[in-house]
A and B are shown apart, each in its own frame.
Chain A
Amino acid sequence: MVSSRLLKEYRELQNSKRDPEIGLQLVDESDIFVWKADLQGPSGTPYEGGTFELSLKCPKNYPLVPPKVTFVTQIFHPNVLFKTGEICLDILKPDAWTPAWTLMSVCRAVTALLSHPEADSPLNCDCGNLIRNGDMRGYKSMARMYTLLHAAQKLPS
């Protein structure tokens, strides 16, 4: 079932108009289990203007279990582990995942997470503490800095 489901998602992706904000694609055309996505930072957030690469690895029993999703690009976000890019998102946990989600909807959920950081379950404690203490300015400038450092295609002059 697994590969047929992924093939179906792949085919649907080919047929639909490419979403420039998500840019989901196969890493290697010969391996259907490894995907990547280039997320555009949502506007109105410190991540705006950055392109964040996301790696999606589907286990063999996908879609019964969630794909493993990590950020490849370093990002300063309370729910993303700064060193590894691990994401804390409920739908990516086995006990909240349902097979009705697709890789595309997972990417959309991650984009939504960028615009709505959840400081109460932080993987990046420094970032979480900034937000929890109300220092939004500090958080925004840190996030902006890392976005410009790692995710921006070309630095604004």
Chain B
Amino acid sequence: MPAPCRFFQIGTCRAGSSCRFTHDRTARAVSQEPCKFFAAGYCAHGEHCAFRHGARDASARLHPAAPPSSATPLSSPASSSSDTPLSFLARPSSATPVPPASPPSPRTTLSPAKALSPATTLAASATSLSAAEAPSASATARAPASAALSARASSSPSAAAAAPASAHAPRKPFVLSQQSGFSAAVRGEPAEDAATWITPTDEELRASRGECCAICLEPVVQRNSCFGLLDGCSHAFCLACIRQWRETYAKRPDVARSCPVCRTPSHFVIPSSFVVSDSRKRDLIRGYQKRLRAIPCRHFAFGDGQCPFGNSCFYAHTDRMGRQIHQQPRQAYGAQGSTSLVTYKLSEFLFPNEDAVRLEAIPLAEE
């Protein structure tokens, strides 16, 4: 039996019925191998992950004193069973282990490195959970979202230093993930859930439950799929449905990029696990774009390819060392008035016969 398709699990498989992996929702967790993202604090696949998520309270935890380099989860027999699902363990970023911070320190730390330094793009914004929120009654309900937030919080040195040294309080430690957004993206972590950048309010969650997709007419939440929101209007669809509709762009350019309900043109679809009101949508879009900027653009391919979106592409245009590249694509005009994008590389002039002289020779910075 083939492994479950992880794109289908999050509602984004483009292969459809020709997918090599199984689209059976009940097929689960074939691998006995533990999920390393889960062990590090947050797995974006959630319960649909193909790798094993150990029991949250015990087996998937790392001991605080665990060596920072260990990527596999170690079961710690000493873990207390009184911990809430929020308690994952810290994976310190620096060589010195950072003790987990204790909840009674209300603080929202923003790393000063706000500018998108390529290697750590996303990780730049380190947001720790406010203590007032964490122990509240709704904390369990929002646990995935909060965990997601904290999983993205990078432990920049300043944030780590700010964490009080009263660290060994075992209850609800913050998650300090080692992975920067960039490297997480390189490792194939999908950027699919809006709960990662804004936390849904109870009202939004309630509204989401009743929302039906205008394409398949099913309630999206009950269908267990993700919402696809449009930037132009407030209508909500299943992510898979609206993507399928917008993929028909080549056949009907006039309507495919507009909302099926109100025909307002939209430029992109924002995946989200809940619907948001207009004012919060701006935050959602900003968070989404920020998340995408951490993912290398497939068209750009670290400078080897060319991206039709040029500098307005949502994805990261960096070289293999993680440096931002601003490249104005040149347009070539054909005799028939057609335009196409071309890029010229110095190497093509220096070594006109050697296609192989490319950046592939340079090892990846991340690995």
Q: Taking beta carbons and an 8 Å cutoff, which residues of A are in contact with B? A: 1, 4-5, 8-9, 12, 63-64, 94-100, 102
Q: How many residues of B contact A (CB 8 A)?
A: 18
Assess the B255–A5 pair: CB atoms within 8 A. no
- A95–B263 alpha-carbon span in the complex (Å): 12
A sample of 24 cross-chain residue pairs with beta-carbon separation below 8 angstroms, ordered by A number, consists of A1-B216, A1-B240, A1-B241, A5-B215, A5-B217, A8-B216, A8-B218, A12-B217, A63-B215, A64-B244, A64-B248, A94-B252, A95-B252, A95-B255, A96-B254, A96-B255, A98-B263, A99-B214, A99-B241, A100-B214, A100-B215, A100-B260, A100-B261, A102-B217
- A1–B8 alpha-carbon span in the complex (Å): 13
Shortest B330–chain A CB gap in Å is 33
- A96–B253 alpha-carbon span in the complex (Å): 10
Shortest B245–chain A CB gap in Å is 6
B251 within 8 Å of A (CB atoms): yes
Q: Which residues of A contact B218 (CB under 8 A)?
A: 4, 8
Q: Which residues of A contact B251 (CB under 8 A)?
A: 94
Interface residues as binary, B232-249 with A (CB distance below 8 Å gives 1, 0 otherwise): 000000001100110010
Q: A4-B218, A5-B215, A99-B260 are in contact. List 9 more A-B contacts (CB 8 A).
A: A5-B217, A64-B245, A64-B248, A94-B252, A96-B254, A96-B255, A97-B255, A98-B258, A100-B260
- A102–B217 alpha-carbon span in the complex (Å): 10
Assess the B254–A5 pair: CB atoms within 8 A. no
- A130–B215 alpha-carbon span in the complex (Å): 40
Give 4 closest A-B pairs by Cβ, nearest first.
Answer: A98-B260, A100-B260, A99-B215, A100-B214
Q: Which residues of A contact B241 (CB under 8 A)?
A: 1, 99
- A94–B248 alpha-carbon span in the complex (Å): 10
> Closest residue of chain B to A94, judged by CB?
B252
Shortest B246–chain A CB gap in Å is 10
Q: Which residues of A contact B217 (CB under 8 A)?
A: 5, 8-9, 12, 102
- A90–B261 alpha-carbon span in the complex (Å): 16
Q: Which residues of A contact B244 (CB under 8 A)?
A: 1, 64
- A9–B263 alpha-carbon span in the complex (Å): 22
Within 8 A of A (CB), among B208-236: 214-218
- A103–B252 alpha-carbon span in the complex (Å): 21
- A102–B252 alpha-carbon span in the complex (Å): 19
Q: Which residues of B contact A99 (CB under 8 A)?
A: 214-215, 241, 245, 260
- A28–B77 alpha-carbon span in the complex (Å): 63
Shortest B353–chain A CB gap in Å is 47
Q: Which residues of A contact B240 (CB under 8 A)?
A: 1
- A95–B252 alpha-carbon span in the complex (Å): 5
- A102–B216 alpha-carbon span in the complex (Å): 10
